[in-house]
Amino acid sequence: MNLLIDIGNSSIKWACYGKVLERGAAVPLVLPLAETLAAAWNDLPTPQGVFVSNVAGQTIADEIVSYCREHWSLTPVFMTVTRDCKGLVNGYAEIGQLGVDRWLAMLAGWTRHNSSLCVVDCGSAMTLDIVLADGRHQGGYVIPGAYMMQEMLICNTSGIRAVPGEAAGTGPGDNTQSCLRNGTHFAIAAFIDRVVGDCESHYADEFQCLITGGGAAAAVELVSVPCIHEPGLVLQGIAIAAGIG
């Protein structure tokens, strides 16, 4: 068994991996991590290896390293962005500027589908990356996620009194809270629809839309284009990049 870890901006998602993703969960990213990690992992058997995608910075990485060395005498392997992998070719001029989670999500999607893709990750930020059928990454987009949009409006606008949350639908709200929630989630869905449509027109090809991340379930319910909810896309990408999947 290997342990795969996807560290985002607000949570840590993990899964045990044999030949497929097995037992796993998500825990909040709150420092210090020692108690949180102990509650999640203390009853796990010692893994053969620990493989990590981390976009949360060095302090978080150091805590993961400390836990793995103390409990399992293992040093985790942190995944990095490469110029190419498994036929997927990075479209960034400076590959180090691309978030490793985006790269791994694309890698998993490309390996599974081998077709033109729009790979969407709905997290604190929402990212959308475009991959052509021949594996060439065309770049992508980064915008605030729905919850971040809501928090920015609440914090920076004196007249808005609401609590961030899920949308109740796409219709107009009848109070400030429903206006805020529906509007931001609908904005995410409309953005995805627009980009997928533009890609299909520009490249004269059909694009498969894959949606992952903590806000994926809400986005899948609201988008108009055909899409697939892929909850463990980054974790799958870790396994592929590590050579164990």
Dump pLDDT digits (tens) for 184-234.
Answer: 999 999 999 999 999 999 999 999 999 999 999 999 999 999 999 999 999
Question: What's the pLDDT band for 162 if we cut at 50, 70, 90?
Answer: confident
Q: Rounded distance, CA 153 to CA 171, Å?
A: 19
What's the pTM? 0.93
Beta-bridged to residue 15, according to DSSP, are 4, 24
Of residues 106 and 124, more confidence is placed in 106
Which residue, of 36, 56, 78, is where some domain finishes? Answer: 78
Q: Any idea which residues carry the catalytic annotation?
A: 101
pLDDT at 32: 86
Residue 158, exposed/middle/buried by CB under 10 A (0-12, 13-18, 19+)? exposed
Q: Is residue 88 scored above 90 in pLDDT?
A: yes
Last residue of a domain, one of 78, 98, 133: 78
Distance from the first to the final alpha carbon of the chain: 12
Structural domain contains residue 110: yes
SS3 sequence of the chain: CEEEEEECCCEEEEEEECCCEEEEEEEECCCCCHHHHHHHHCCCCCCCCEEEEECCCHHHHHHHHHHHHHHHCCCCEECCCCCEECCEECCCCCHHHCCHHHHHHHHHHHHHHCCCEEEEEECCEEEEEEECCCCEEEEEEEEECHHHHHHHHHHHCCCCCCCCCCCCCCCCCCCHHHHHHHHHHHHHHHHHHHHHHHHHHHHCCCCEEEEECCCHHHHHHHCCCCEEECCCHHHHHHHHHHCCC
Nearest partner of 93 among 133, 138, 141, judged by Cα: 138
Return the pLDDT at 245: 79
Residue 170 has pLDDT above 80, yes or no: no
Q: Please say if the pLDDT value at position 159 is more than 80.
A: no
Q: CATH number of the domain at 44, please.
A: 3.30.420.40
Do 69 and 94 lie in a common domain?
no
pLDDT tens, residue by residue, 7-50 = 998 899 999 998 788 878 899 888 888 889 999 999 999 999 99
Task: Considering only residues 101 and 163, tell me which one the structure prediction assigns the higher pLDDT.
Answer: 101
* Average pLDDT along the chain: 94
Predicted confidence band at 160 (pLDDT cuts at 50, 70, 90)?
confident
Whole domain around residue 96: which residue ranges?
84-233
Region 93-109 average pLDDT: 97
Question: In the chain, pLDDT over 70 holds for what percent of residues?
Answer: 100
pLDDT of residue 199: 98
Are both 107 and 64 inside the same structural domain?
no
**Are 42 and 123 members of one domain?**
no
Residue 171 pLDDT > 90: no
Same domain (yes/no): 22, 106: no
The pLDDT assigned to 240 comes to: 97
